[in-house]
Amino acid sequence: MTFETHSAKSYSITSASIHPFSYLRCMRKLIVNISEIAGILDDSVPRKAGSEMSEIDILSNGWITIKDGLIEDYGTGTPPEGADETIDAGSGIVLPAFCDSHTHLVFAGSREDEYVHKVMGLSYEEIARRGGGILNSAKLLQQTPEKELYRQSLVRAEEIISLGTGAVEIKSGYGLTAEDEAKMLRVARRIGEETALTVRTTFLGAHSFPAEYRDNRDAYVNLIINEMLPVVAAENLADYIDVFCDRGFFSVEQTERILEAGARYGLRPKIHANELDYSGGIQTGVRNDALSVDHLEFTGEEEIEILKGSDTIPALLPGASLFLGMQYAPARRMIDSGLPVALASDYNPGSSPSGNMKLIMSLGMIMMKMLPAEVLNAVTINGAYAMGLEKTHGSVTRGKIANLAITKPIPGINFIPYAYGSNLVAQVILEGEMQL
Ligand code: NIG
Ligand code: FE
């Protein structure tokens, strides 16, 4: 206690003289009038798998204290005294802020006209073959200056904060040249620095083949390995590496080569797999110790067995299935087989133009037959695990970063995915600071 008081004081004096707002971070804040605190965990739980996913620890009539941007304590009944600031939760539920482990939210412009073509009958792959799809976004991104790309992406980052997201993974993959991939990743890093979001970045040079490499795909793989990766590594722009390993995109062999090269730079894989077919992507991911394999609409018993013996978490993206009118990943079968499941938004201009994680929870329940507790774990602690953030994010845990979403007054957590069209997030606290 003596140590805490001392360190808080010395921090406040030094920081206050540098920046007046730094002082605020040292205050003790108290959240009161909480109907339920949901998503409490002790710090030994890295993720939830199988039947653990249907368990959520809830405390009724609660309070939470925040100090130096971290969750200091929580409890029920009479709150402690001595807070510098009191936040009224308005009888709402306090949840861990959402952890969105798969997005492409740095992109230029939008592709709504292409979607009209899709509605008129063209398939996703046909649109891609005609130079639409990812290549359309790449062309636009290459023409967009970094400053403008940041401006457009910041709007999306602020939007997801307002919807309750506190940590997000952001991929490159619309640059497709060393220079433009680096530009995307710098923008993603800057979002992490200039907003209260925790950002993890992923290098996805292997998102699509540029038109000039259509007939010499291996030459593009060489470019990724020999030119892009060294730049990304030299500037420390990425935390992870991704490949779109699927039918019509990168083969298993090409994926292996890229992941092996990434591993030489210390980049762990988080890959796009089995979205369009039983592509071997899941096996390739597990073989290369991927942190997550993502999409997985085409997953059978063989793939489930392979995942069971690994530390790789399936990250499912029901927003893409909704938007593309495709089948959903078999979440129910995965959980019943004992696997952990994370849910993420896939926020991108082509297959899922939304970063609304509460809607993702609803899709998990409505379309994938997941239970409310399962979808809540999938977008919090399991999402954190899928970004390597499970020690600091994804639950209400003493010592974790105070990233919390407070709902409007609602009957209980089952109401969250059920009320699929309502924004129930009333207040968002990130790093202990009120965001809205
Ligand atoms: O995750 N599947 C590959 N990439 C994205 C789609 C990107 C796009 O169409 O722009 C996805 O769905
Ligand atoms: Fe994606």
CA 194, 200, 204, 207 torsion-angle sign: negative
- Asked whether the predicted pLDDT for residue 3 surpasses 80, the reply is no
Provide the pLDDT confidence category of residue 26 given band limits of 50, 70 and 90: low
- Domain end among 345, 364, 385: 385
For residue 378, pLDDT over 90 is answered with yes
Residues 233 and 309 in one domain: yes
Coil/strand/helix, residue 67? strand
Whether the per-residue pLDDT at 125 is higher than 80: the answer is no
Contacts of 84 (CB under 8 A, 6+ apart): 27, 28, 29
Distance 102 CA to ligand 2 centre (A): 6
Q: Which of 106, 141, 207, 209 for mutating ligand 1's site (highest number of atoms within 8 Å of CB)?
A: 207
Euclidean distance between the first and the last CA atom of the chain, given in angstroms as a whole number: 32
The residue whose CA has the least distance to atom 10 of ligand 1 is 350
* Residue in 100, 327, 346, 347 to alter for ligand 1 test, most ligand atoms within 8 A of Cβ: 346
Mark whether 116 and 54 lie in a shared domain.
Answer: no
Question: How crowded is the C-beta side of 392, counted as CA atoms within 13 Å?
Answer: 13
Domain with residue 322: its CATH number is 3.20.20.140
Distances (CA, A) of 29 to 26, 66, 78, 402, 405: 9, 5, 15, 11, 15
Is the CB–ligand 1 distance for residue 134 below 6 Å?
Answer: yes
Please give the pLDDT value at position 393.
Answer: 98
- The finding on whether 63 has its CB within 6 A of some atom of ligand 1 is no
Shared domain check, 380 and 278: yes
Atom 7, ligand 1: residue with shortest CA distance: 350
In a domain, 206, yes or no: yes
Higher pLDDT, 124 or 344: 344
Residue with the bigger pLDDT between 44 and 11: it is 44
Whether residue 269 is predicted with pLDDT greater than 60 in this model: the reply is yes
Which residues crowd ion ligand 2, with CB under 5 Å?
346
Which pLDDT belongs to residue 436? 77
pLDDT band at 296 (very low <50, low <70, confident <90, very high): very high
DSSP assignment letter at 247 = T
Q: Whole-angstrom Cα distance, residue 154 to residue 342? A: 25
Q: Sign of dihedral through CA atoms 29, 33, 39, 45? A: positive
Query: Is the pLDDT at 17 greater than 90, yes or no?
Result: no
The answer to whether residues 24 and 118 belong to one domain is: no
Are 299 and 321 within 8 A, CB to CB? no
pLDDT above 50 for 6: no
Cβ of 346 less than 6 Å from ligand 1:
yes
**Residue 277, number of CB atoms within 10 A of its CB:** 12
The token pair that represents 227 in the structure block: 């030119």
**What would the mean pLDDT of 263-276 be, rounded to a whole number?**
97
Higher pLDDT, 92 or 8: 92
Check whether residue 85 and residue 209 sit in a common domain.
no
**Minimum CA distance residue for ligand 1 atom 5:** 351
Instruction: Give 371-412 as a DSSP string.
Output: -HHHHHHHHTHHHHHTTT-TTTSSSB-TTSB--EEEEPS-S-
Q: What is the CA radius of gyration of the chain?
A: 22
* Residue 12: predicted pLDDT: 30
Ligand 1 nearest-atom number relative to CA 295:
1
Give the pair of three-digit tokens for residue 332: 């129910």
Query: Are residues 196 and 218 located together in one domain of the fold?
Result: yes
Q: What is the pLDDT of residue 20?
A: 47
Cα 267 off chain centre by: 17
Is the CB of residue 133 below 6 angstroms from any atom belonging to ligand 1? yes
Whether the Cβ atoms of residue 55 and residue 335 lie closer than 8 Å to each other = no
Q: Indicate whether residue 87 lines ligand 1 (CB < 6 A).
A: no
The Å distance, Cα 105 to ligand 2 centre, comes to 10
For residue 350 and ligand 1, the question of a CB distance below 6 A is answered with yes
In a domain, 7, yes or no: no
Q: Is the CB of 348 under 6 A from ligand 1?
A: yes
Q: Which ligand is nearest to the CA of 292?
A: 2
Tokens of residue 231, six digits = 């730049």
376 and 400 share one domain: no
What tokens does 159 get?
A: 């939007």
- Gap from CA of 348 to ligand 1 centroid (Å): 7
Q: In Å, what is the CA distance from 113 to each residue of 63, 222, 323?
A: 48, 33, 14
Strand partners, 343: 316
Residue 129 confidence (pLDDT): 74
In angstroms, rounded to a whole number, what is the distance separating the alpha carbons of residues 283 and 305?
Answer: 10
- Is residue 102 classed as helix, strand or coil in its secondary structure? coil
Q: Rounded to the nearest whole angstrom, what is the distance from the C-alpha of residue 266 to the centroid of ligand 2?
A: 22
Q: Cβ(390) to ligand 1 under 6 A?
A: no
% of the chain surpassing 70 pLDDT: 94
Mean pLDDT on 410-420:
98
The mean pLDDT value for 254-265 works out to: 98
On whether the CB atoms of residues 100 and 160 are closer than 8 A, the answer is: yes
What percent of the chain is helix, strand and coil (3-state, nearest 5)? 40, 25, 35
Q: What is the CB-side half-sphere exposure of residue 385 using CA atoms within 13 A?
A: 26
Q: Does residue 106 sit in the same domain as residue 64?
A: no
Question: Tokens standing for 169?
Answer: 């993974």
Rounded distance, CA 383 to CA 97, Å?
Answer: 11
Residue 24: give its domain's CATH number: 2.30.40.10
The answer as to whether 244 is a domain residue is yes
Residue 2 has pLDDT above 60, yes or no: no
Q: Domain range spanning residue 269?
A: 98-385
Distance CA 180, CA 350 (A): 19
Torsion of CA 232, 237, 238, 244, to 10 degrees: -50
Query: What is the CA(203)–ligand 2 centre distance, in A?
Result: 12
90 and 115 housed in the same domain: no
Cα of 169 vs centre of ligand 1, distance in Å, is: 14
Determine whether the shortest distance from the Cβ of 132 to ligand 1 is under 6 A: no
* 3 in any annotated domain: no
Write the DSSP symbol of residue 280: S
Q: State whether 183 and 318 are in the same domain.
A: yes
Predicted confidence (pLDDT) at residue 368 exceeds the cutoff of 70: yes
Residues 6+ apart with CB under 8 A from 118: 124, 127, 324
Question: Are 297 and 265 contacting, i.e. CB atoms less than 8 angstroms apart?
Answer: no
Question: CA-CA distance, 311 to 24, in Å (whole number)?
Answer: 39
Dist. CA 159–CA 258, nearest whole Å:
33
The bound ligand whose nearest atom lies closest to the alpha carbon of 134 is 1
Residues 85, 116: one domain? no
With respect to residue 9, please indicate whether it lies within any of the assigned structural domains.
no
Q: Is 256 helix (H, G, I), strand (E, B) or coil?
A: helix
Q: What is the pLDDT of residues 390-407, one digit of tens each?
A: 999 999 999 999 999 999
Q: Please check whether residue 63 lies inside any domain of the structure.
A: yes
> pLDDT (tens digit, 9 = 90+) per residue, 77-91?
999 999 999 999 999
Q: How far is the centre of ligand 1, averaged over its atoms, from the C-alpha of 173 (Å)?
A: 9
What is the number of the ligand 1 atom nearest to the C-alpha of 275? Answer: 2
Q: Is the CB of 244 under 6 A from ligand 1?
A: yes
Confirm whether 10 is domain-assigned: no
* Count: domains in the chain: 2
Q: What is the mean pLDDT of the chain?
A: 93
pLDDT digits (tens, 9 = 90+) for 159-205: 999 999 999 999 999 999 999 999 999 999 999 999 999 999 999 99
Residue nearest to atom 9 of ligand 1 (CA): 350
- The answer to whether position 190 is within a domain reads yes
Whether residues 38 and 58 share a domain: the answer is: yes
